[in-house]
Structure 1
Amino acid sequence: MPHPGLLPPHYDEAGLAGVLPAVAASLGVRRYADSGLLDLPEARRAVVVLVDGLGYELIRRRGGHAPFLRSLLPAAYRITAGFPATTATSMGTFGTGLPPGSHGLLGYEVLVPGEDRLVNELSWEDGPDPLTWQPQETVFEVAEAAGVSVTRVGPGFFDGSGLTRAALRGGRFRAADTLADRVDATLEALRSSARGLVYLYWGELDKVGHVYGCQSWEWGDELEAIDAELGRLVRSVPSDTAVYVTADHGMVDAPHALRIDLAHDVELATGIRHVGGEPRALQLYCEAGAVADVAQTWTERVGERAWIRTRDEATRQGWFGPVSEVNRPRIGDLVVAMRDNFAIVDSRRARPQLLALLGLHGSLTPQESAVPLFHVPPRDNS
């Protein structure tokens, strides 16, 4: 049985992987028809908004800042983002409709097999070729090939980035800065096609949560601004358009006083060659022959504050979904998912700006892994 507080990931209709395929099916894309996914109403056009960091538990607890979304909450789906609950991995899951073990975007920082180095799958700095690293078709590519006009709306620097090319390629890209501008660009894209799918990304809530914490007034203010624009979007879309709002992960506030820094803990750092993942979901790549000793040490020291699994154990327990042989070496020898609001950092290599962040995510707690799927059906689909 799962440990209390652990939310097992799902990679079907109960997970983020099921969202875009179900939306595509509702638009008539046959590839995803009769696949047992979410039962969404047929529509000629659809908008999918992804609000980075909008966890289900957060919107449930802080819904006073979001009267529009709160009105939709009773009918919203509570789905799981998957593991780790982090943007790079979730974007792969969302964009391909596949679990991390299949699409291969397995964490914030993961090992590049054969190169003895980590790659940051969010920034993609010095990263491998995105189409080689993640060769599976995206839902956007499938939908576009089926005759659905696909438009992706986000910040300009996303266009052609490594993560975008790996996880969200397909269709056309529209750059816009403010959320109001992105809503306007979304409405223009909808009106320009009789059968279309528009994806809108907004990342400021996650940024505010990282810096100030997800319990801060700053987070509440940002949620209020998002809620107002989402309400305007729903009121303004063509009558044959369905609107969906989801997220890539939630967040917890992790006080600095409760963290361990591996730079100052020789016992925990011994035997580890690379510290991958992130503070709430570490992936430890061990020196040759050191896995058992590292596992024992970490279990004795932090086993009550984290779920610690070997690569084989995490795979058998379905944390990453089915794992392909090519993607398997990217996973850490040990995977450490934090409980409660505990975190482990490594100041030997993390930038000071990252070490200063208060809001964190990545683990298997409901606060991080559960995300909402709000849905507003078409007003008229005749």
Structure 2
Amino acid sequence: MERRLTPSELIRERTRFSSDRPHWIRPSYDGYGIVNLPWSILAALGAEPAGQPVADILWPAGLANALDAVLLVVIDGLGYEQLERALAEGDAPGLQHLVGDGVSFPLTSVFPSTTVAALTALATGEPPARHGLLGFTAFLREFGMLTNLLFWSPLGRFPSYATTGLDPRSFLPVRTVAERATEAGIQTTVVSPEAFRDTPLTKMQTAGATFRGYRTAGEFVAQVHAALAQPGKQLVTAYWDTLDTLGHFAGPDSPAWQVEFRQLDRLLVEELLARLPRRDVLVVITADHGMVPLDPERQYRLDDPALLAGLALPPAGERRAVYFHPLPEQASAVAERVRALAGSDGVLFERTRLFQEELFGPPPHHPEAWHRVGEFVLVAVGRASFPWDPPGAQPRPFLGAHAGFESAEQLVPCLLWRR
């Protein structure tokens, strides 16, 4: 009798990038990715999904019977492979108990597999090519400049466009999950660090929701419990960001990251979930992306004067998914220089191929998506990276990063546990 594939094997088989890139994962927008998760959650609460939910083979039938609340916990930067290692090594006894008592499977992130693009996908149920936030930095024709999309500001040390009176919500062309939930009679709350309360990106992603800020772990738990204790149908999204921060600056395999993860395991299971103020709760634990430890010997700075002279704009995107906008008549020369710089540590794609293969997501696309992605996109292989820092910036050493197609950055956990 033929052995049935595990969920992990199934998703790896369905999303394998190519035979010559066996460790790369193709982001799924058709039932096996984080972009599908919001539609499953809305359906579980009785709302009509406007997009494709998670595939039936992964999402158990009857999971939402008599359900009045969903708690979605988003752990920034927690990759599926990191979680699997932690469970195997006994570093996450609380989550191990939930896995045994619930349902667990991986989902893919989006491309680029990075916070701005992926969190917005979770907040809207739409892929990057549709919501338009296509990386850490991108060229915005609307403003005529290279823009930091995390801060919604010109690249460099500049204030946000919001300070000029522009409305961040109007920049996002799609509806949020919170807006859809509110229309369906579901109260929606986002629990996130207090420092993010009034940032433009938060205003885009949380439109339609009540924001509850926290400063400490204890306040995080208290704010989630207070939101869930309200009567009626509830969708509460709780966001935790410290693992991502430590992954970048200490490394995703560092002792500091491991200590933080063990503390988070106890916080989630012994404090947050053990004392939920109601019983009719579906808990969904997931992440926006994973992370790759970087090799300092495979870091290639994009400061070659000859390369920069051939560009209409500085390199944009991410250090593991770089966007290049060559000057007219310079495309071939730029491509040749980038390939020579990267060698076997990077793969240079033409923008046309990435859109044709729907790696940013299927159509219809944001009208500016094509222009926000460079003519060429360099994707890092293994532990390589391709940083570029604007003049005057003081570079910080990165020991971990994400944005590409490696399975460590593309696959994230999805754990379902019914209280």
Counterpart amino acid of 1:180? G
Q: Give the match's secondary structure for 2:129.
A: helix
1:338 lines up with 2:380 in the alignment: yes
Cα distance, 1:223 vs structure 2: 0.3
How do 1:148-167 residues align onto structure 2 when only pairs under 5 Å count? 148-167=186-205
Residue of structure 2 equivalent to 1:4: 22
Indicate which of 46, 71, 83 corresponds to 2:70.
46
Say if 2:290 and 2:412, in contact at 8 Å, map to a contact too: yes
Residue of structure 2 equivalent to 1:229: 267
Where structure 2 has 5 or more consecutive residues not aligned to the other structure, the ranges are 1-16, 154-159
- Partner Cα separation in structure 2 for residue 36 and residue 62 of structure 1: 25
- Partner Cα separation in structure 1 for residue 95 and residue 50 of structure 2: 28
Larger mean CA deviation between 73-82 and 135-144 belongs to 73-82
1:360 lines up with 2:396 in the alignment: no
Residue of structure 2 equivalent to 1:302: 342
Q: Give the match's secondary structure for 2:415.
A: strand
- Partner Cα separation in structure 2 for residue 34 and residue 99 of structure 1: 12
Indicate which of 32, 40, 44 corresponds to 1:22.
40
Counterpart amino acid of 2:133? L
Cα distance, 1:111 vs structure 2: 0.5
Distance 1:288 1:129, change over 3 A: farther
Output one character per residue of 1:330-358: Cα deviation in whole Å (capped at 9) or x when no partner: 111111111100011124448335x3121
Distance 1:314 1:349, change over 3 A: farther
Larger mean CA deviation between 145-154 and 115-124 belongs to 115-124
Indicate which of 219, 228, 236 corresponds to 1:190.
228
Larger mean CA deviation between 176-185 and 140-149 belongs to 176-185
Say if 2:176 and 2:206, in contact at 8 Å, map to a contact too: yes
Counterpart amino acid of 1:12? D
Say if 1:25 and 1:33, in contact at 8 Å, map to a contact too: no
Cα distance, 1:363 vs structure 2: 0.9
Cα distance, 1:114 vs structure 2: 5.1
Residue of structure 2 equivalent to 1:133: 171
Q: Give the match's secondary structure for 2:25.
A: coil
Counterpart amino acid of 2:170? T
How do 1:249-288 residues align onto structure 2 when only pairs under 5 Å count? 249-263=289-303, 265-272=304-311, 273-288=313-328
Distance 1:88 1:288, change over 3 A: same
Cα distance, 1:188 vs structure 2: 1.2
Say if 1:21 and 1:97, in contact at 8 Å, map to a contact too: yes
Distance 1:170 1:357, change over 3 A: same
- Partner Cα separation in structure 1 for residue 237 and residue 228 of structure 2: 11
1:180 lines up with 2:221 in the alignment: no
- Partner Cα separation in structure 1 for residue 272 and residue 111 of structure 2: 31
Residue identity (%): 29
Indicate which of 90, 100, 110 corresponds to 2:128.
100
Counterpart amino acid of 2:272? L
Counterpart amino acid of 1:70? Q
- Partner Cα separation in structure 1 for residue 121 and residue 402 of structure 2: 16
Cα distance, 1:159 vs structure 2: 2.1
1:13 lines up with 2:46 in the alignment: no
Q: Give the match's secondary structure for 1:352.
A: coil
Indicate which of 218, 224, 239 corresponds to 2:279.
239
Q: Give the match's secondary structure for 1:343.
A: coil
Cα distance, 1:138 vs structure 2: 0.6
Say if 1:9 and 1:318, in contact at 8 Å, map to a contact too: no
Q: Give the match's secondary structure for 1:277.
A: strand
Say if 1:24 and 1:32, in contact at 8 Å, map to a contact too: no
- Partner Cα separation in structure 2 for residue 341 and residue 138 of structure 1: 34
Residue of structure 2 equivalent to 1:372: 413
Q: Give the match's secondary structure for 1:4.
A: strand
Counterpart amino acid of 1:55? G
Output one character per residue of 1:262-294: Cα deviation in whole Å (capped at 9) or x when no partner: 22x334434122211121111112222322321
Say if 1:214 and 1:359, in contact at 8 Å, map to a contact too: yes
- Partner Cα separation in structure 1 for residue 392 and residue 325 of structure 2: 16
Residue of structure 1 equivalent to 2:354: 314
Larger mean CA deviation between 323-332 and 10-19 belongs to 323-332
Indicate which of 171, 180, 184 corresponds to 1:146.
184
- Partner Cα separation in structure 1 for residue 389 and residue 177 of structure 2: 38
Q: How many positions carry a matched residue from both structures?
A: 376
Counterpart amino acid of 2:118? S
Indicate which of 208, 216, 219 corresponds to 2:254.
216
Cα distance, 1:245 vs structure 2: 0.7
Q: TM-score, normalised by structure 2?
A: 0.85
- Partner Cα separation in structure 2 for residue 256 and residue 350 of structure 1: 22
Distance 1:70 1:93, change over 3 A: same
Say if 1:179 and 1:202, in contact at 8 Å, map to a contact too: no
- Partner Cα separation in structure 1 for residue 299 and residue 220 of structure 2: 38
Q: TM-score, normalised by structure 1?
A: 0.92
1:68 lines up with 2:94 in the alignment: yes
Counterpart amino acid of 2:94? F
Q: Give the match's secondary structure for 2:107.
A: strand
Cα distance, 1:208 vs structure 2: 1.1
- Partner Cα separation in structure 1 for residue 232 and residue 267 of structure 2: 24
Larger mean CA deviation between 176-185 and 121-130 belongs to 121-130
Say if 1:111 and 1:118, in contact at 8 Å, map to a contact too: yes
Where structure 1 has 5 or more consecutive residues not aligned to the other structure, the ranges are none
CA RMSD after TM alignment: 2.0
Larger mean CA deviation between 86-95 and 40-49 belongs to 40-49
Q: Give the match's secondary structure for 1:244.
A: strand
Residue of structure 1 equivalent to 2:6: none
